[in-house]
Amino acid sequence: MFVPLRTTHQVGRSSILASKLLTRSPARLGTGLPLSLVTGRQPLRFGSDEARPPSRPPSSAVDSSLPYPPYTIPTKGILSKLPPSWVPYAELSRIEKPGGLYGFYMAYLIGLGYGSCLVTPAVAPGHLAQIAGVLLVYNVFLRGAACTVNDILDRDYDRQVARCRNRPVARRAVTPSQGYMWYAAQTVGAGAAIACLPSPMLALAYAVPIQLSVSLYPLAKRHTDFPQLVLSAPIAGGVLMAAASLGMDPFTTSATGFLFMSHYIWTTIFDYVNACQDTADDIKAGVRSMAVRYQNTSLFISTLGAAQVGCLAATGILAGFSPVYMIGAVGGNALWLATMVMTVKRTRPDICAWWFSWGGLLVSGTTVAALFAEYHSRLDGSEGGEKINDSK
């Protein structure tokens, strides 16, 4: 049989093409991203002894088609001040994003403000500030541990979500084992902070279920459309833990239940708005949430917001609070929530991100300010406000 010979021109083109294929890095052939952007290592050539073709399944590959830029080493902010080897662990704890910390810590300030209004004898401001400081340290560790375990368990989902694909475990800057060690270290730090509270064993009785619940929250996104309801319970539990740290039994009045429910509902709204940033990616990745199930943001926020404001009003009535609280907490929250209804749109993820960054401080902060104003008015109305026993 006669086989036509290939021309020199055709052979030359084939050689050039083969040369280009052989000099590409395995990461480019497998994921569409340079290996250095995924792992922080320099890409290897097929000609080296260490090079191997990509072997990870497609589900664990970083989706380079997503619109967010590739990861770069931080050059500004608090992360830029840290040694490079510390940066992935700081990112796991989200120390550069305080919005989530506000969401955690405000529950404890609400509990302190509420308890200080009702506990007798009156709490001295200095003692109140000391407990608030300890609880702040505790919340830094608690929130950091919660974010760390979330990133470990969600790593395969995060690689498919534009906003999350550069998280440390998702981009393989930290292994899951290293992440769990960091989680354990932060849990120990949270325990050390609890030991500094006036009644550490009582606080621990609240802290253990809170820690377990926030750690299991990522798994809820696999099995239910309501993971926000799972997360809201332990965060709102901070109201009870903080009030108990002042020596108050939070279960002696029904007002406490309404205050707990108010923060529970607000946390649901807060995390719902955060999830609205990722709805399209979450649907593709199979992540379940209330933001995926309920896509009418205005209806969702207005309905739950009305319930939240109603719970705040019931708290004030049952606790016998003055107009100082009613105007500040009830009126203030109603105003902020109405603003959210008018401004939050899932087509504007930048607005959703803004509310997640500042909403915890603004909305819950209004409640905190109203409760401490109520405390101040009661302290001024009492006969000097006895200082509680330091050993309490």
Q: Span 88-381: which CATH code?
A: 1.10.600
Please state, in angstroms and rounded to a whole number, the distance separating the CA atoms of residues 235 and 268. 10
Is residue 351 within 8 A of residue 344, CB to CB? The reply is: yes
Please state, in angstroms and rounded to a whole number, the distance separating the CA atoms of residues 332 and 367. 8
Q: How many CB atoms lie under 10 A from the CB of residue 388?
A: 18
383 pLDDT band, cuts 50/70/90, is: low
113 pLDDT band, cuts 50/70/90, is: very high
26-30, 153-157, 248-252, 315-319 — which is least confidently predicted?
Answer: 26-30
Mean pLDDT confidence for 326-349 = 95
The answer, yes or no, to whether residue 29 has pLDDT greater than 50, is: no
Backbone angles phi, psi at 11, to 5 degrees: -60, -40
The DSSP 8-state label assigned to residue 168 in this structure reads: T
128-142, 268-282, 373-387 — which is least confidently predicted?
Answer: 373-387
37-41, 195-199, 346-350 — which is least confidently predicted?
Answer: 37-41
Token code pair at residue 79? 């992360």
Mean pLDDT confidence for 371-376 = 96
Q: How many CB atoms lie under 10 A from the CB of residue 131?
A: 21
The per-residue pLDDT of the chain, averaged, comes to: 84
pLDDT of residue 73: 87
The answer, yes or no, to whether residue 63 has pLDDT greater than 70, is: no
Where are the chain's structural domains?
Answer: 88-381
67 pLDDT band, cuts 50/70/90, is: low
For 290, residues 6+ apart whose C-beta sits below 8 A from its C-beta are 225, 226, 227, 228, 229, 268, 272, 275, 300
For 316, residues 6+ apart whose C-beta sits below 8 A from its C-beta are 325, 326, 329, 330
189 pLDDT band, cuts 50/70/90, is: very high
The reported pTM is 0.80
Condensed to tens digits (0 to 9), the pLDDT of residues 242-284 reads 999 999 999 999 999 999 999 999 999 999 999 999 888 888 8
233 pLDDT band, cuts 50/70/90, is: very high
Q: How many CB atoms lie under 10 A from the CB of residue 263?
A: 26
**Preceding omega of 121 cis (within 30 degrees of 0):** yes
pLDDT of residue 68: 67
pLDDT of residue 285: 85
Mean pLDDT confidence for 44-55 = 35
Q: How far is CA 374 from CA 249, 339, 367, 383, in A?
A: 19, 25, 11, 16
pLDDT of residue 392: 44
For 45, residues 6+ apart whose C-beta sits below 8 A from its C-beta are 22, 23, 25, 51
3-7, 305-309, 320-324 — which is least confidently predicted?
Answer: 3-7
Among the listed residues 308, 327, 338, 340, the one whose alpha carbon sits nearest the alpha carbon of residue 366: 327
Please state, in angstroms and rounded to a whole number, the distance separating the CA atoms of residues 26 and 43. 8
Among the listed residues 200, 234, 201, the one whose alpha carbon sits nearest the alpha carbon of residue 217: 234
pLDDT of residue 66: 54
Most trustworthy range by pLDDT among 126-135, 157-166, 381-390? 126-135
**Preceding omega of 218 cis (within 30 degrees of 0):** no
The answer, yes or no, to whether residue 27 has pLDDT greater than 60, is: no
Is residue 267 within 8 A of residue 290, CB to CB? The reply is: no
The answer, yes or no, to whether residue 30 has pLDDT greater than 50, is: no
Condensed to tens digits (0 to 9), the pLDDT of residues 289-304 reads 999 999 999 999 999 9
Place of tokens 């959210």: 340
222 pLDDT band, cuts 50/70/90, is: confident
pLDDT of residue 16: 44
141 pLDDT band, cuts 50/70/90, is: very high
The DSSP 8-state label assigned to residue 79 in this structure reads: G
217 pLDDT band, cuts 50/70/90, is: very high
Please state, in angstroms and rounded to a whole number, the distance separating the CA atoms of residues 349 and 202. 41
pLDDT of residue 52: 37
The answer, yes or no, to whether residue 24 has pLDDT greater than 80, is: no
Three-state secondary structure call for residue 309: helix
